[in-house]
Structure 1
Amino acid sequence: MFMLEAVGTAVLKVLGTWGGFIMLFFQTLSQCRRMPRIHHILQQMAHLGVDTLPIVALTMLFTGMVLTLQIVIEFIRFGAQSTIGGVVTIAVGRELGPVLVGVVAAGRVGAAITAEISTMKVTEQIDALKVMATNPIRYLVAPRLLACMLMLPLLVVFGDVVGSFGGWLVANYYDISSFMYKQSIGTFVIVHDFTGGLIKAVVFGIIIAVIGCYYGLNAENGAEGVGKAATKSVVDAIMAIFFFNCFLSAILYR
């Protein structure tokens, strides 16, 4: 009975948390009927998007290089080196780009969102907003949600280009000409390979923003509470990205 009780408690806790995510998302959508201040959105776009470019560039560059390094010898052995550029670009555009950029953003952006909002909660700044008749969801959550939804697809596009470039560097090292690499991209890659990844990026942006803001708004008091909230935010966002990626891939690329 103790084991069943523990399992039931854990399930109810998870369902309650996900219910909180969904409620916060729809509350934020209702607040977005009136456009938040543009400078708040632009500020968050610069903070959450532009500042993430270097780590996205490094991640996707080495991912494209490693992916090509793993397949190039086998492709050359079977005489399929003329398809390497298309294979690498499709893999990056469909899966590796959106997922890795989402994970990177969850680690950097999600933690930053949670730490910032939870610190405001601990220092009673959110209570001060309520006293001034300012809705915290409209003032804090909505700009971050819109910024993540707009910036994550742009980061994915940037990451796709860098990942394909990394594959080209390794392909050139194995004497695969630039013409052959580019021609295989034009032959095998279609627009949907990228648009599907962008749809994933929008969903991942929503996940990162909502989970980060939820744990920030519900953080416990004290510095320890801020740290725990940031940790939960990153872990749950990464798990949710992998979970939703599976279903989105099945829907978009079946």
Structure 2
Amino acid sequence: MNYIASIGSYAIMVKEVFKKPTKWGIMKSLILKEIDELIYGSLGILIFISFFIGGVVAIQTALNITSEIIPKYLVGFATRQSIILEFAPTFCSIIMAGKVGSYITSSIGTMRVTEQIDALEVMGVNALNYLVFPKIIAMLFYPFIIAIAMYVGILGGWVAGVFGGFSTSADFVEGLQLDFNTFHVTYSFIKTLVFAFILATIPSFHGFYMKGGALEVGKAATTSFVWTSVVIIILNYILTQLLLG
């Protein structure tokens, strides 16, 4: 019953976010601040992880090709499919649940503890719109850094494969071009947009409705990371079944 109540509270929160909007002059600066914190601030860690994960995928694929019958371009093919279909949209989103989600929950939770949210409501400001709406808009730019993660991941696979002696550049590029389906990229971006909404709203929910003091802020951040990750994994399964099944 607690789960059902939480889902109901979450739906009500999302509905309230879009009511009684804050003045555009104020909202614009809030959105730009969130883009800097949530998107630009996450670019470095995603590039770093994507590059090395792409390299690991290429190396593991090459090491498992033990038969002369299996073509060498399979390294590039497997790297492309793994990065575009699953790693970039899903694995990166789980990483973001830890980085961005914890930041959102702790920042809003701290405002709740220090009664800043109460002050906003006393002044007649829709606190949910003021705090959560800029994060939702900022996360609409999330597909851009996922596109960069795709490129860097494939680049990492190429570097590891070619300079590690596991594949030639020509074979790797041939694998990248083999049976390329543009809908796979579309599918990844659809998932990314759904995950972006989850990354902005579930951590906000846990931060906004938390109770207690400073200790509970940390607990709320941990809980939001767990539930954000669980929802992303479940939605990943559902969207894959709907779009590719």
Q: TM-score, normalised to structure 2's length?
A: 0.92
Give, in whole Å, the separation in 1 of the partners of 2:137 and 2:238. Answer: 23
1:28 to 12, 17, 20: 17
2:33 to 38, 43, 50: 43
1:130 to 118, 121, 125: 121
Give, in whole Å, the separation in 2 of the partners of 1:33 and 1:182. Answer: 50
Does residue 181 (structure 1) correspond to residue 141 (structure 2)? The answer is no
Q: Which residue of 1 aligns with 2:86?
A: 95
Q: What displacement does 1:163 show?
A: 0.9
Does residue 201 (structure 1) correspond to residue 169 (structure 2)? The answer is no
Residue 24 of structure 1 aligns to which amino acid in structure 2?
Answer: M
Q: What displacement does 1:185 show?
A: 1.5
Give, in whole Å, the separation in 2 of the partners of 1:31 and 1:195. Answer: 34
> CA separation of 1:29/1:178 partners in 2, compared to 1, >3 Å: closer, same or farther?
farther
Residue 138 of structure 2 aligns to which amino acid in structure 1?
Answer: A
> CA separation of 1:179/1:142 partners in 2, compared to 1, >3 Å: closer, same or farther?
same
Residue 222 of structure 2 aligns to which amino acid in structure 1?
Answer: T
Indicate the larger mover: 36-45 or 90-99.
Answer: 36-45
Residue 204 of structure 2 aligns to which amino acid in structure 1?
Answer: C
> CA separation of 1:46/1:76 partners in 2, compared to 1, >3 Å: closer, same or farther?
farther
Give, in whole Å, the separation in 2 of the partners of 1:226 and 1:17. Answer: 18
Asked if structure 2 preserves the Cα contact closer than 8 Å seen for 1:85 and 1:184, the reply is yes
Residue pairs, 1:40-79, within 5 angstroms: 40-75=30-65, 77=67, 78-79=69-70
Q: Which residue of 2 aligns with 1:6?
A: none
Asked if structure 2 preserves the Cα contact closer than 8 Å seen for 1:85 and 1:181, the reply is yes
Give, in whole Å, the separation in 2 of the partners of 1:165 and 1:81. Answer: 17
Q: What displacement does 1:65 show?
A: 1.3
Where do 4+ consecutive residues of structure 1 move more than 3 Å?
29-36
Give, in whole Å, the separation in 2 of the partners of 1:37 and 1:70. Answer: 47
Q: TM-score, normalised to structure 1's length?
A: 0.89
Identity of counterpart residues, as a percentage?
29
Q: When the two structures are aligned, how many residues end up with a matched partner?
A: 242
Give, in whole Å, the separation in 2 of the partners of 1:107 and 1:167. Answer: 25
